[in-house]
Amino acid sequence: MNQLTSIFKLLSDETRLRMMVLLFQEKLCVCELSGVLNVPQPRVSKNLSKLKDLGLVEGQRKEKFVFYTLKGNSLLMENLKNITEKLDHYPQLMEDRSRLALKEDLLNNCCVVCD
């Protein structure tokens, strides 16, 4: 039960929820998340750290970048699937998804090391 309440507490934060919806769609670097969400990289890193501590995301290094993906928590995945199937009900999430098209530019303009 503690994990269940911890998941919902983490997702009650708008930035973390937006991050999780994006990571449900594809793996992303801190720079890409920061650019799509229009929030500072330290804030993204801090939120990713909380999600990693709970075992909801994992990072994989590729050259100088760390790309984050969701880990398979069935409750989380089911909720994110329901949200992404109805993105048109959530204007902010639709806007985030449209910014994903710019992710290559965001990665090219990234800091020297993302983590």
Write out pLDDT tens, residues 17-53: 999 999 999 999 999 999 999 999 999 999 999 999 8
| Residues 49-83 pLDDT 10s | 999 988 899 999 988 889 999 997 788 898 899 99
Q: Which residue has the tokens 């993105």?
A: 87
Question: How many angstroms separate the CA atoms of 74 and 47, rounded?
Answer: 21
Q: Which domains does the chain have, with CATH numbers?
A: 2-108 (1.10.10.10)
Question: How many angstroms separate the CA atoms of 54 and 46, rounded?
Answer: 13
**Which of helix, strand or coil describes residue 94?**
helix
